[in-house]
Amino acid sequence: MTASWVEVPEGSDFPLANLPYGVFDSGKGRRIGIAIGDHVLDLYAVADAGLVPHGAALQDVDLNGFLALGRSSWHEVRGRLTELLTDGRTEIQDAGIDAFHHQAEVTLHLPFTPGDYVDFYSSIEHAINLGRMFRPDSDPLLPNWRHLPVGYHGRSSTIVVSGTEIHRPRGQTKQEDEPPTEGPTRALDIELEVGFVTGPGNELGVPIDADDAGDHIFGMVLVNDWSARDIQRWEYVPLGPFLGKSFATSVSPWVVPLEALAPYMVPGPSQDPEPLPYLRTVGDWGVDLQLEVGLASVAMSEPDVISRNSFAGMYWTMAQQLAHATVNGTRIGPGDLYASGTVSGPDPGTYGSLIELTWGGRDPIQLSDGSQRRYLEDGDTVALRGWCEREGLPRIGFGECVGTVVP
C-alpha cells in the first residue's frame, strides 16, 4: 500500500488512495483543493508553481471547468498529484510554496455549481416500504418501477454544502377532514442518499450509452435530500414532489473521484425482468459503500447512529440512471448532480429515512438524551457518513454531510 509523506491519521477518510476534490477558503478567496489526511492541498498554489497539468482549470473558484476537461485529463491530474504526495517525493517542498492548510481552519464551500439536479428512487427496499405505507392493499411497487429508474428534476439553486443550516420549510398541509392550512412543516425528514457529479456533457438529442457512463461521471458525494412529508403528501398528486422537496438538498464537501472508487466497485443486483437494451451494462456499477445516519438533539454533544446500511445493493446503478436520464436526448453538463434516492436496506435498522425508521410516526425513535423522535425538531443535527473498506485495500471515505434544523 503506497504511503504519503503527508501525515494521514489512522482511520482517516482521506488517505493517498482517495484524494477527493473540494473548494475551500483560507482567507484568499475560493480555491480548489484536495483532501489528504487532516489537510487540504491548495491546487491553485500547486498549479501556480507549474507542478500539475491543466493548471488554468485548477485555479478556478469551482470544479466545473476541471469537470469539463474529461476523463483523460482527470486521470492525468490524479496521477500527478499522487506522485507529488507519495513518500519520498519533494517537489512541493522544493517549490517553497504555502500549499497546505488544516481542514479545521478553512471554510469549505459547495465544490461544483450545479446546473441541473435529478433525484432518483432507486432502492427497491425503500420503494417497497413506502408502497406498503401508502398503498397497503395493493402491490407496493408501481408497474413501472422494475422497468426504469424512476426520478424527477429537482431545484438546483437550493443545493447547499454540508454545515449549512436548514430552515424549517413552510407550505400547505391538510389534515383528514379539515381544510388545508399554510405553515411550517410538522413532518421534516431526511433522506440518506449518494449522488454522482457529471463532467463533459452531450449534444442535444444525443443519448449517453450506459457503457459510456464512465466518460461522463466524475465522482460521488453524500446527499441528504431533506423532505417535508406532510407538505409533500398534500401536493404531490398528480405531478410529484414540489415544495416538500425543493427547500434544501445538502451535499458533502468532498467529491470522491470515480477512479478512487474503482477498487470498490461490485456487480449490481440481479434485475427481473431484464431491463430494455439501453439500460443493460457491462462491468461492475455497484459500489461497496457503507453508510450511516447520526441524529443529535440540541442537548446532545454527539449524534446517535440511527441507521447503517450499504449502497452496494441499489437496484438501479449510476450508469443506468444516466442512460435513462438522457435517452430522450436531454443535455447534461459539468457539475450536474444525480442523486440515488433514499438508500434503505431490508431491516428496520437499515432504513434511510425517518418515515421508514418510525413507520410513518407510529414507532418513535428513542435518543440517548431520553427524548423521542418521529420527525425532526428544531435544533436537531443530522450527520451522514460513508466509507469504502475491503480486505487488502485502504479505507477511503467521504467525510460528513451535516445539517442542523433551525426555525
**Residue 367, helix vs strand vs coil:** coil
Separation of alpha carbons 62 and 219, rounded Å: 15
- The cell for 132 is 406498503
Cis, bond preceding 238 (omega within 30 deg of 0): yes
- The cell for 58 is 485548477
Separation of alpha carbons 195 and 174, rounded Å: 32
- The cell for 32 is 480548489
Query: Is the dihedral angle over the CA atoms 185, 190, 116, 269 positive or is it negative?
Result: negative
Query: Within a 10 A sphere around the Cβ of 93, how many other Cβ atoms?
Result: 10
337-358 as b/e: b if 16+ CB within 10 A: bbbbbbbbbeeeebbbbbbbbb
Q: Assess contact for 298 and 340: CB atoms under 8 A.
A: no
Nearest 5°: phi and psi at 256?
-85, 120
Q: Assess contact for 345 and 125: CB atoms under 8 A.
A: yes
Radius of gyration of the chain (CA): 21
Separation of alpha carbons 229 and 241, rounded Å: 10
Active-site pick, 39, 101, 126, 324: 126
Which parts of 32-123 fold into alpha helices (H)?
A: 43-48, 55-58, 64-67, 71-85, 91-95
Instruction: Name the residue with cell 438501479.
Output: 316
Is 153 in the active site? no
DSSP state of 263: G
Instruction: Name the residue with cell 497539468.
Output: 53
**Residue 132, helix vs strand vs coil:** helix
DSSP state of 268: P
Nearest CA among 170, 220, 169 for reference residue 198: 220
**How would you classify the pairing of strands 159-161 and 381-388?**
unpaired
Residues labelled as active-site residues: 126
